Amino acid sequence: MVISKCRCCRTLAPADRGGGGSSPASGGPVDAELLADLAAASRILADQGVVDAFGHVSMRHPAAPDRFLMSRSLAPALVTPGDIVEYSLDCAAYEGDERPGFLERFIHGEIYRARPDVMSVVHSHSPSVIPFGLVEAPMRAMFHNAAFLAGGVPVFDISKKFGATDMLVGNPEKGVALAEVLGERPVVLMRAHGSVAVGPDLQSAVFRAVYTEVNARIQHQTTLYGGPVAALTPEEGVLADEVNMKAGHRAWTLWTKRVGR
Amino acid sequence: MVISKCRCCRTLAPADRGGGGSSPASGGPVDAELLADLAAASRILADQGVVDAFGHVSMRHPAAPDRFLMSRSLAPALVTPGDIVEYSLDCAAYEGDERPGFLERFIHGEIYRARPDVMSVVHSHSPSVIPFGLVEAPMRAMFHNAAFLAGGVPVFDISKKFGATDMLVGNPEKGVALAEVLGERPVVLMRAHGSVAVGPDLQSAVFRAVYTEVNARIQHQTTLYGGPVAALTPEEGVLADEVNMKAGHRAWTLWTKRVGR
Amino acid sequence: MVISKCRCCRTLAPADRGGGGSSPASGGPVDAELLADLAAASRILADQGVVDAFGHVSMRHPAAPDRFLMSRSLAPALVTPGDIVEYSLDCAAYEGDERPGFLERFIHGEIYRARPDVMSVVHSHSPSVIPFGLVEAPMRAMFHNAAFLAGGVPVFDISKKFGATDMLVGNPEKGVALAEVLGERPVVLMRAHGSVAVGPDLQSAVFRAVYTEVNARIQHQTTLYGGPVAALTPEEGVLADEVNMKAGHRAWTLWTKRVGR
Amino acid sequence: MVISKCRCCRTLAPADRGGGGSSPASGGPVDAELLADLAAASRILADQGVVDAFGHVSMRHPAAPDRFLMSRSLAPALVTPGDIVEYSLDCAAYEGDERPGFLERFIHGEIYRARPDVMSVVHSHSPSVIPFGLVEAPMRAMFHNAAFLAGGVPVFDISKKFGATDMLVGNPEKGVALAEVLGERPVVLMRAHGSVAVGPDLQSAVFRAVYTEVNARIQHQTTLYGGPVAALTPEEGVLADEVNMKAGHRAWTLWTKRVGR
């Protein structure tokens, strides 16, 4: 394991810049409050046990739909607004920003490209969720806070298309394949890897990432009893999710307070 | 997810005021110590893992049995005495108090109406308890601290009477239906949602909410072994609960110390 | 639930004084270091998740084998040396000390009477241990730190002798019955209640209470796989326990540091 | 349990010095940064729940391959650079250093002897891992962060060669036997005891110890569902581990920050 002496090394190898080509121009300045929200989201996901040293959250650039914002490669608990980098959908960093990025930022870029409705993406290895990428039993919505799962949770198995790999969504092609399996859903599982949650805004994507993990723990306990499970129906899921999208701000208020924003 | 700029917004829509009609008069002033206890109860439930960003606790007005006290809509960990609102059993706020209330305060109002013996109500999505609202296996009392469960724990399935809904007890009719399933019990489970614990005083309702969650975790582990389970019998439950109702103050002393009351 | 206004109330009802008779004389002064150790043990058990608001630890009086030392009735996390009371084996408090004691101090008194080798007793409702008092599967030693369990862990079912009760060992007769089932073992389980761990000194009893809980969690996970379990054999248990009794001081050093002794 | 009055006692009995013979000369001075890293590794393992009061981490002497560095016998959470002792591969301490060492330092000495590629060794009783030393089900790699497990995880049963013992690898012969079962793997399980993780540097060994525990918890949950498990294939494991060995520094950065290095 190579521990770089300089933790803010700025030599970004060209191969690391995504789809090649020259550095894109910026989508324009971003409100400092939004950057603080995005950095807080990163720390919230760590505080809530969704990410550990790995995982990342991004948001689409508010003024430029073909740009997104995401921390440089860094443990989520340590992210501050100054760590945020602007990327094109090809995952190339804004001109002059040579700080190393996450290897898997293609998850974000390709989902933003495929899903105009998505404004924020969370990728994690949320531990209790991983089993559902490994077994045949589908993830289901155990309670109303996880209503967004009631429409079904697809599983992306990277080996189907790419054979034996390092499991990472480390190039645009793999990002496209993942986005295809995600389809119009809010969550996609990744076999032997983790999951992705998306939303129409930053708060919703974080909310979904957190409650996907909570729901997974509840489903594990429920499974102990065998027999039928009276999970949320798809119809109930739609109705309950509408409320979550409004009432969920209570969670954001609490979570930001916990991480000091 | 809508994040209000102003977190103390006081515009309470009329539709949000419960059974309609004009604002009720107050049941009279409440001892500051009681309000501090109620706010502490809210923070205790968060500290003990019974509630997260959601859930609520209330107490009946000490001088007016047709009034109850409950925080405005806020994450339980953040509640202070100043957040407490007075409601009629119709769940209309005391005149002039226009702070948004919890959507599900009808759980509280209708249980106070149906159960004159109940002085406090806790509603939570306590995670380990949720499976018992989804499977056929009944919740049972695994140890004496959960003796109050030994008489049986009913399950309220909102779809039985109301079809596909957003799962919330968001109007008086649903509150009445929930209170009917609760009957004379101390705890009722809510399918794909959570549970409600009630008690003859604030401390007992909190105690029951906490030990319902602890008991659920123990029952999950017990279930791993299959075979018969030598749970508390109903008769043992009655005898043990009497002691809990006296000795339980040790828990309250500890828990209030932890949350800084 | 009755919350006493005065938390240090000193009115000890005669019925609460154990086997009746007059208050016994003291077994003599006790080194302040020992009292600090005993109070720390109480806080350690809370810090390690063995006790919550309930449970207690005692030690035999170092100079008077027919006396033992134990906190007044108080949540274990809050115990300081000033809370410690001296009891006779009949569980009557030293003359003049009228602070309410734990209802179940008879667990301690009767074990000290039956087991001259025991110098310390811990009673807890350690959650992961409770299932083994409810099912037929016996508790076994999953690893060397729990070697003391390898000789077998008996279960005390209070209903066998006393029928339906409040489950508490609240009088001398019940204490005698519990001590009989404990026999020469280091740990006894109590059906639908909790467990007791004993040792030749305070540190060992605490060590055993902690690792009984840790071992229980490991056994639950092990049980998921079905099939044979290569647990410690009784012979391995004897050999490994000898080492624990020496090396265990590392745990005490760490644990006392955590609780501020 | 014997609690030494003096916690820094320096009387090291000759029998405690490993393979006998006279004290070896030092392999030379070690950079203070490396000692600080090694002490931090110890505290990280405690912070991450891999070790409790027991367990230890070592690193090979950077200038002398026949020497290794390891804390004196002490709870891992308490280790500072001043606690680190230099040992020969026979596990004899550097001349004049008479502080008591860990009984099981032979795990380290014999693995360093058998595996020239190994630069660091972690031994723990990481709780969720213990079941896999007790049952027939093999440990498998549930996700890419645990890719190092995909090649298989052998189990060392000390009784196979040594009959009934105290379970400890307390002499060179037992260390040799353990190293043989480890073979060329990164992790070996020890029946009814714990496990060992090794790596080409300190950070990798710590990373592997942490993710062996995380992976075990995920495998327990996965096992609840029965049926086939789409774990990492050995080929995927090799590819994914290469990335971990580079990207893993993010974890080290986070973990050291948490423990104050």
Q: What is the DSSP string of B86-139?
A: EEETT-PBPTT--SPPPTTTHHHHHHHHH-TT--EEEEE--GGGGGGGTSSSPP
Provide, as residue numbers in chain C, all residues whose Cβ is less than 8 Å from the Cβ of B216.
Answer: none
Which of A67, A10, A77 lies closest to A34 in space, CA to CA?
A: A67
Q: How far is A147 from chain B (nearest CA, A)?
A: 9
Question: What does pLDDT average to over chain D?
Answer: 92
Asked if A1 and D218 come within 8 Å (Cβ–Cβ), the reply is no
Measured from the Cβ of residue C94, the count of other Cβ atoms closer than 10 Å reads 17
Kindly tell me the sign of the dihedral angle through the C-alpha atoms of B62, B64, B66, B72. negative
Structure tokens at B151: 């008489």
Our CA angle for B38, B184, B152, nearest 5°, is 100
Asked if A53 and D255 come within 8 Å (Cβ–Cβ), the reply is yes
Query: What number is the average pLDDT over the span D173-181?
Result: 98
Residue with the bigger pLDDT between B253 and A261: it is: B253
Q: Give the model's pLDDT for residue A169.
A: 98
Contact of B256 with C58, CB cutoff 8 Å: no
Q: Is the pLDDT of residue A14 over 50?
A: no
Which of D184, D241, D232, D230 lies closest to D208 in space, CA to CA?
A: D241
- Residue D143: which of A125, A220, A223 has the nearest Cβ? A125
What is the rounded radius of gyration, in angstroms, for the C-alpha atoms of chain C?
Answer: 18
Task: Show pLDDT as tens, one digit a residue, over chain B (261 residues).
Answer: 544 333 222 222 333 334 444 678 899 999 999 999 999 999 999 999 999 999 999 999 999 999 999 999 999 999 999 999 999 999 999 988 999 999 999 999 999 999 999 999 999 999 999 999 999 999 999 999 999 999 999 999 999 999 999 999 999 999 999 999 999 999 999 999 999 999 999 999 999 999 999 999 999 999 999 999 999 999 999 999 999 998 878 899 999 999 998
B164 vs A: CB within 8 A? yes
Which of A4, A10, A6, A7 lies closest to A97 in space, CA to CA?
A: A10
Separation of alpha carbons C62 and C120, rounded Å: 11
Asked if A75 and D253 come within 8 Å (Cβ–Cβ), the reply is yes
Q: Give the model's pLDDT for residue B249.
A: 85
What does DSSP say about strands B187-190 and B155-156: parallel, antiparallel, or unpaired? parallel
Q: Is the pLDDT of residue D2 over 80?
A: no
Query: What number is the average pLDDT over the span C101-118?
Result: 98
How many residues does this entry show for chain B? 261
Residues of B that are catalytic: 104
Collapsed DSSP state (helix, strand, coil) of residue D58: strand
Closest residue in D to C144 (Cα) is D193
Asked if B223 and A228 come within 8 Å (Cβ–Cβ), the reply is no
Q: Is the pLDDT of residue C7 over 60?
A: no
Order of strands, edge to edge, in the sheet holding C56-60? C84-88, C67-71, C56-60, C120-124, C194-199, C187-190, C155-156
Contact of D102 with D86, CB cutoff 8 Å: no
Structure tokens at C233: 């054999």
Best of B48, B122, B145, B244 to disrupt the C interface (most C CBs within 10 Å) is: B145
Dihedral pair phi/psi, residue A18, rounded to 5°: 85, -135
Our CA angle for D3, D8, D14, nearest 5°, is 90
Separation of alpha carbons D120 and D245, rounded Å: 14
Q: How far is CA C196 from the centre of its chain?
A: 5
B59 vs C: CB within 8 A? no
- Residue C192: which of B224, B230, B235 has the nearest Cβ? B230
Q: Give the model's pLDDT for residue C25.
A: 83
Beta-bridge partners for B142: none
Separation of alpha carbons A158 and A107, rounded Å: 12
Is pTM beyond 0.80? Reply is yes
Q: How far is CA C72 from the centre of its chain?
A: 15
Contact of C194 with C125, CB cutoff 8 Å: yes
- Tell me the pLDDT band of A96, cut-offs 50, 70 and 90: confident
Q: How far is CA B131 from the centre of its chain?
A: 18
Q: Give the model's pLDDT for residue C240.
A: 97
Provide, as residue numbers in chain B, all residues whose Cβ is less than 8 Å from the Cβ of C125.
Answer: 143, 145
Which of C199, C156, C192 lies closest to C174 in space, CA to CA?
A: C156
Q: How far is A220 from chain B (nearest CA, A)?
A: 9
In chain A, what's the furthest Cα-to-Cα distance? Answer: 58
Cα-based distances in Å from A53 to C163, D248, D261: 54, 9, 16
Closest residue in A to D214 (Cα) is A127
- Residue A250: which of B75, B134, B168 has the nearest Cβ? B75
Provide, as residue numbers in chain D, all residues whose Cβ is less than 8 Å from the Cβ of C224.
Answer: 131, 220, 223-224
Contact of B145 with B211, CB cutoff 8 Å: yes
Contact of D167 with C144, CB cutoff 8 Å: yes
Provide, as residue numbers in chain A, all residues whose Cβ is less than 8 Å from the Cβ of B54.
Answer: 145, 247, 250-251
- Cα of first residue to Cα of last residue in chain D, in angstroms, is 33
Provide, as residue numbers in chain B, all residues whose Cβ is less than 8 Å from the Cβ of C157.
Answer: 230
Provide, as residue numbers in chain D, all residues whose Cβ is less than 8 Å from the Cβ of C230.
Answer: 133-135, 157, 191-192
Best of B56, B129, B130, B215 to disrupt the A interface (most A CBs within 10 Å) is: B130
Q: How far is C117 from chain B (nearest CA, A)?
A: 30
Closest residue in A to D140 (Cα) is A192
Q: Give the model's pLDDT for residue B22.
A: 60
- Tell me the pLDDT band of D18, cut-offs 50, 70 and 90: very low
Axis crossing angle, helix A249-259 with helix A32-47, rounded to the nearest 10: 80
Structure tokens at B6: 């102003």
Which of C126, A47, A112, C221 lies closest to D258 in space, CA to CA?
A: A47
Separation of alpha carbons A92 and A106, rounded Å: 10
Separation of alpha carbons C212 and A192, rounded Å: 34
- Residue C142: which of D1, D168, D192 has the nearest Cβ? D192
Place of tokens 């241990």: C129
Asked if B225 and C157 come within 8 Å (Cβ–Cβ), the reply is no
Contact of D118 with D60, CB cutoff 8 Å: yes
- Tell me the pLDDT band of A241, cut-offs 50, 70 and 90: very high
Q: What is the pLDDT of residues A173-195, one digit of tens each?
A: 999 999 999 999 999 999 999 99
Q: Is the pLDDT of residue C5 over 90?
A: no
Q: Looking at C86, C95, C98, C104, which residue is catalytic?
A: C104
CB contacts under 8 A, B 16-55 vs A, are 52-54
Kindly tell me the sign of the dihedral angle through the C-alpha atoms of A194, A195, A201, A207. negative
What percent of chain D is predicted at pLDDT more than 90?
Answer: 87
CB contacts under 8 A, C 98-157 vs D, are 141-145, 147
- AA letter at A136: E
Cα-based distances in Å from D26 to D30, D60, D83, D258: 10, 13, 16, 32
Q: Looking at A33, A86, A95, A104, which residue is catalytic?
A: A104
What is the rounded radius of gyration, in angstroms, for the C-alpha atoms of chain D?
Answer: 18
Provide, as residue numbers in chain C, all residues whose Cβ is less than 8 Å from the Cβ of D189.
Answer: none
Q: What is the pLDDT of residues D67-112, one digit of tens each?
A: 999 999 999 999 999 999 999 999 999 988 999 999 999 999 999 9
Separation of alpha carbons A34 and A206, rounded Å: 14
Residues 6+ apart with CB under 8 A from A180: A114
Query: What number is the average pLDDT over the span C176-201?
Result: 98
Closest residue in B to C163 (Cα) is B236
Asked if B130 and A222 come within 8 Å (Cβ–Cβ), the reply is yes
Residue D104 falls in the annotated catalytic set:
yes
What percent of chain A is predicted at pLDDT more than 90?
Answer: 87
Q: Is the pLDDT of residue D57 over 60?
A: yes
Order of strands, edge to edge, in the sheet holding D155-156? D84-88, D67-71, D56-60, D120-124, D194-199, D187-190, D155-156
Separation of alpha carbons D101 and C145, rounded Å: 19
Measured from the Cβ of residue B30, the count of other Cβ atoms closer than 10 Å reads 20
Least confident stretch, A244-253, C80-89, C201-210, D117-126: A244-253
- Cα of first residue to Cα of last residue in chain C, in angstroms, is 33
CB contacts under 8 A, B 60-79 vs A, are 73-75, 77-78
Asked if B157 and A230 come within 8 Å (Cβ–Cβ), the reply is yes
Q: Give the model's pLDDT for residue A22.
A: 60
Residues 6+ apart with CB under 8 A from C18: C87, C88, C90, C91, C92, C105, C106, C109, C172
Separation of alpha carbons C132 and C217, rounded Å: 11
Asked if A164 and D218 come within 8 Å (Cβ–Cβ), the reply is no
- Tell me the pLDDT band of D22, cut-offs 50, 70 and 90: low
- Residue D125: which of C143, C201, C225 has the nearest Cβ? C143
Q: Give the model's pLDDT for residue D67.
A: 97
Contact of B82 with B165, CB cutoff 8 Å: no
Provide, as residue numbers in chain B, all residues whose Cβ is less than 8 Å from the Cβ of C160.
Answer: none
Closest residue in C to D159 (Cα) is C236
A217 vs B: CB within 8 A? yes
Query: What number is the average pLDDT over the span A2-30?
Result: 51
